[in-house]
């Protein structure tokens, strides 16, 4: 046998492979790492998800359903959340990840997980986050706001400069141009989450979509469906809708208010509104409804009842309609002609308004009751609380609501060059900003912190831009007399905030000895208002339920006296126009039910 060295050594050659990676599969099996932005099975962060359903809407394969994880989830969810969550049919999904791209909250992602084997095709239906609770550990394709199909930045609103503003009462907000409005409207994902927190439940995604498509007239019709002062709300609404906008979670909420403003302003006068809205006015049904107060709630009741064929009369104590939106909101926020236009339109559909008719003086409540099948009270909170400290009655110590009313009625008010406003609500801010426009240096004194102020943050910012000084945790102690019965200044003390162990707002405690005097020409009190119910006869007052100074009603705004309905500030605590409109809208149904059930 021939000796072969090569044959002897050959097996040893295998050793040269020892340091190399094997070509066979490693045991135990090691999964290969996938690409950085790999698109595997879904994961959903169930806490961050608000159930807007945009994933389901965008899915071109119709692979995503919005479902309740537990029965009743959709009924029990908080406002701002539909309670639904996406469920994916992985038999239809093509992992294009459009759903992730359009997820406003960023809760939906795709994972590195790609092998899923089951003999039961129905198990392909699975709910991300529920079916893979640990999916957050293997995230791969995640949504990123810096490059997304969604536009997280709002089209900025053009405004007058702070320095320009204080020169006049010109409207501060300049409004969107057509292209700006369309661009802003196009950002909306149409989920409708916002409609629930709107007290009126306006059809927000629909009118925004109409604006996006350039159909402003449809937008106006949709807005007037349940809000007859849409233009006012487009300018001054407290817009809780924007607080829950899903885009606000990681970017800027849709400018819902400004879009409403844009659309409604397209109707330049009452005739054009009438032409566009072209309301279906029912023939007279012979029923009469008396309304006390031409504020937002009263106007809403009057408008929708008039459309339904009722004979409606509003009794208004002042010379103009609008209530607080006429006399309380400064004209740089809501110009007079805008409000006139809206009221004129309502009159054109049959709303009768008796101006300068104060109930209890020019006409008695009993007479109104006698002449109408139902009565609606919407008198608002017009009586100011006084500041209640020594010197409050000195000359030039005035009340903000009276001050704003006089200014809006074009009267001259001498506030001099140094003004302090006491209070932290929108009324206080309005009074301060108006005083700036009259040329005064203005300081706001507020007992609590800035974050406790009930005023809109935008109003607070606006005031600061205009040079209003805000002194917080400052407690007015007494008004200083100049010796001749006029205001010389205000003595105030600083406070520390103490938390309320039983819940509720932190309370300011005066720091004794830390006192200061601010020299002033005028003091404007804006600490709050209440209603004047003196026109209501005692026997009816006894029967109507009150709570914290407000009238108690059922869900249709009906008081415990069946033919008397109420709404607005005297019923709800939110103190804004949109809640008053909501009350009015509900009262319309309540009054209709009450009258026709008789």
Partner 1 sequence: MNTDNIQSLEQAIQFAIERETEAEQMYQKLIRLAEDPKAKELFQELRDMEAQHRQNLQTLDVTGFKEKHNQERVYNMHIADYLIDKKIDDVRTYQEGLMLAARREQMAYQYYSLLAEIYRDNPGLFEFFSVMAREERSHQNDMEKVYDETVFLYN
Partner 2 sequence: MSDRIQDLQKSLSEGLPQCSVEIRRHGGVELISSKENLVGVLAYLREHFGYRHLSHISCVDWLEQNQFELVYILWNYESRIQLFVKVRLARVNGSGISVRHLWPQADTYEREIAEMYGLPFDGNENPRELILEDWDNKPPMRRDFDTRAYSKEAFYDRPGREDAKDVRSVISGRSGEEIPEIAIPYTRK
Considering only residues 279, 293, 476, 489, which one is a binding residue for partner 1 as defined by CB under 8 A? 476
If contact means CB under 5 to 8 A according to the sort of partner, which of partner 2, partner 1, none does residue 530 touch?
Answer: partner 1
Candidates 59-67, 177-185, 360-368, 425-433 — which segment interacts with partner 1 by CB under 8 A? 425-433
Does 509 bind partner 1 (CB under 8 A)? Our answer is yes
Distance from C-alpha of 506 to C-alpha of 453, rounded to nearest angstrom: 12
Considering only residues 145, 148, 192, 347, which one is a binding residue for partner 2 as defined by CB under 8 A? 192
Distance from C-alpha of 39 to C-alpha of 67, rounded to nearest angstrom: 23
Q: What is the DSSP letter of 14?
A: G
Does 447 bind partner 1 (CB under 8 A)? Our answer is yes
If contact means CB under 5 to 8 A according to the sort of partner, which of partner 1, partner 2, none does residue 139 touch?
Answer: none
Smallest gap from residue 390 Cβ to partner 2 (A):
49
Smallest gap from residue 485 Cβ to partner 1 (A):
16
Return the residue matching tokens 């009768």. 352
Q: What is the DSSP letter of 161?
A: -
Does 390 bind partner 1 (CB under 8 A)? Our answer is yes
Distance from C-alpha of 319 to C-alpha of 355, rounded to nearest angstrom: 5
288, 372 contact by CB (below 8 A): yes
Number of residues this chain uses to bind partner 1 (CB under 8 A): 41
Distance from C-alpha of 340 to C-alpha of 335, rounded to nearest angstrom: 9
**Minimal CA–CA distance to 112: which of 46, 29, 35, 26?**
35
159, 172 contact by CB (below 8 A): yes
Separation in Å, CA 267 to CA 135, 139, 173, 438, 499? 52, 50, 18, 32, 50
Considering only residues 16, 30, 547, 597, which one is a binding residue for partner 1 as defined by CB under 8 A? 547
If contact means CB under 5 to 8 A according to the sort of partner, which of partner 2, partner 1, none does residue 465 touch?
Answer: none
208 vs 551 by CB, closer to partner 2: 208
Candidates 117-125, 163-171, 479-487, 522-530 — which segment interacts with partner 2 by CB under 8 A? 117-125
List all residues 6 or more positions away from 70 whose beta carbon is below 8 Å from its beta carbon.
none
If contact means CB under 5 to 8 A according to the sort of partner, which of partner 2, partner 1, none does residue 158 touch?
Answer: none
Does 478 bind partner 1 (CB under 8 A)? Our answer is yes
Considering only residues 26, 122, 146, 548, which one is a binding residue for partner 1 as defined by CB under 8 A? 548
**195: its two tokens:** 């409609």
Smallest gap from residue 551 Cβ to partner 2 (A):
22
If contact means CB under 5 to 8 A according to the sort of partner, which of partner 2, partner 1, none does residue 62 touch?
Answer: partner 2
Distance from C-alpha of 567 to C-alpha of 179, rounded to nearest angstrom: 39
Does 514 bind partner 1 (CB under 8 A)? Our answer is no
Q: What is the dihedral of CA 175, 178, 180, 182, to 10 degrees?
A: 120
What residue spans of 453-501 are helical by DSSP H? 457-465
Separation in Å, CA 55 to CA 4, 81, 88, 524, 572? 72, 15, 10, 52, 37
Does 456 bind partner 1 (CB under 8 A)? Our answer is no
If contact means CB under 5 to 8 A according to the sort of partner, which of partner 1, partner 2, none does residue 386 touch?
Answer: partner 1
Candidates 105-113, 265-273, 499-507, 556-564 — which segment interacts with partner 1 by CB under 8 A? 499-507
Does 386 bind partner 1 (CB under 8 A)? Our answer is yes
Number of residues this chain uses to bind partner 2 (CB under 8 A): 44
Candidates 48-56, 299-307, 340-348, 565-573 — which segment interacts with partner 2 by CB under 8 A? 48-56
Considering only residues 67, 186, 272, 510, which one is a binding residue for partner 2 as defined by CB under 8 A? 67
132, 43 contact by CB (below 8 A): yes
209 vs 529 by CB, closer to partner 2: 209
Separation in Å, CA 570 to CA 147, 201, 359, 582? 48, 21, 16, 13
Binding site for partner 1 (CB under 8 A): 383, 385-386, 388-390, 392, 422-425, 427-428, 446-447, 454, 475-478, 493, 498, 501, 504, 507-510, 512, 526-528, 530, 533, 541, 545-550
């Amino acid at each position: 046998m021939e000796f072969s060295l090569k044959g002897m050594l050959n097996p040893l050659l295998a050793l040269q492979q020892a340091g190399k990676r094997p070509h066979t599969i490693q045991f135990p099996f090691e999964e290969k790492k996938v690409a950085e932005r790999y698109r595997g099975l879904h994961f959903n962060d169930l806490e961050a998800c608000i159930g807007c359903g945009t994933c389901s809407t965008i899915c071109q394969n119709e692979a995503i359903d919005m479902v309740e994880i537990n029965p009743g989830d959709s009924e029990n969810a908080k406002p701002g959340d539909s309670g639904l969550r996406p469920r994916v049919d992985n038999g239809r999904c093509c992992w294009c990840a459009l759903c992730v791209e359009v997820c406003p909250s960023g809760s939906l992602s795709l994972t590195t997980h790609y092998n899923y084997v089951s003999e039961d095709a129905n198990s392909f239906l699975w709910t991300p986050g529920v079916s893979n609770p640990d999916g957050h550990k293997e995230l791969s394709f995640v949504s990123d706001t810096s490059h997304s199909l969604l536009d997280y930045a709002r089209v900025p609103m053009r405004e007058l400069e702070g320095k320009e503003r204080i020169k006049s009462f010109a409207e501060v907000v300049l409004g969107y141009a057509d292209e700006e409005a369309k661009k802003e409207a196009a950002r909306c994902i149409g989920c409708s989450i916002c409609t629930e927190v709107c007290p009126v439940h306006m059809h927000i995604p629909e009118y925004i979509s109409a604006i996006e498509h350039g159909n402003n007239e449809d937008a106006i019709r949709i807005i007037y469906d349940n809000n007859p002062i849409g233009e006012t709300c487009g300018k001054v609404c407290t817009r809780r809708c924007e607080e829950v906008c899903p885009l606000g979670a990681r970017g800027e909420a849709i400018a819902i208010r400004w879009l409403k403003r844009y659309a409604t302003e397209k109707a330049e006068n009452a005739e054009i509104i009438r032409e566009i809205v072209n309301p279906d006015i029912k023939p007279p049904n012979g029923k009469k409804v008396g309304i006390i107060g031409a504020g937002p709630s009263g106007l809403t009741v009057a408008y929708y009842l008039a459309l339904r064929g009722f004979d409606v009369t509003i009794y208004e104590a002042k010379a103009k309609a609008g209530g607080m939106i006429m006399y309380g909101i400064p004209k740089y926020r809501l110009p007079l002609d805008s409000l006139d236009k809206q009221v004129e339109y309502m009159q054109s559909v049959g709303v009768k308004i008796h101006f300068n008719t104060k109930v209890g003086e020019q006409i008695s409540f009993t007479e109104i009751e006698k002449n109408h099948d139902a009565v609606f009270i919407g008198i608002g909170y017009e009586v100011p609380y006084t500041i209640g400290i020594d010197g409050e009655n000195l000359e030039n110590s005035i009340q903000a609501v009276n001050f704003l009313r006089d200014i809006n009625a074009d009267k001259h008010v001498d506030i001099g060059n140094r003004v302090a406003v006491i209070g932290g609500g929108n009324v206080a801010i309005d009074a301060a900003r108006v005083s700036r426009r009259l040329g005064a240096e203005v300081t706001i004194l507020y007992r609590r912190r800035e974050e406790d102020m009930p005023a809109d943050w935008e109003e607070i910012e606006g005031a600061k831009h205009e040079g209003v000084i805000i002194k917080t945790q400052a407690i007015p102690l007494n008004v200083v007399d100049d010796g001749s019965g006029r205001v010389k200044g205000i003595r105030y003390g600083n406070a520390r905030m103490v938390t309320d162990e039983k819940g509720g707002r932190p309370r300011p405690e005066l720091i004794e000895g830390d006192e200061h005097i601010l020299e002033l020409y005028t003091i404007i009190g804006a600490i709050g208002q209440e209603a004047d119910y003196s026109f209501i006869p005692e026997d009816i007052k006894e029967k109507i339920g009150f709570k914290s100074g407000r009238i108690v009603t059922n869900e249709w705004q009906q008081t415990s006296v069946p033919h008397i309905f109420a709404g607005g500030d005297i019923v709800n605590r939110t103190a804004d126009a949109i809640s008053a409109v909501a009350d009015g809208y509900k009262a319309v149904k309540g009054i209709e039910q009450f009258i026709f059930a008789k």
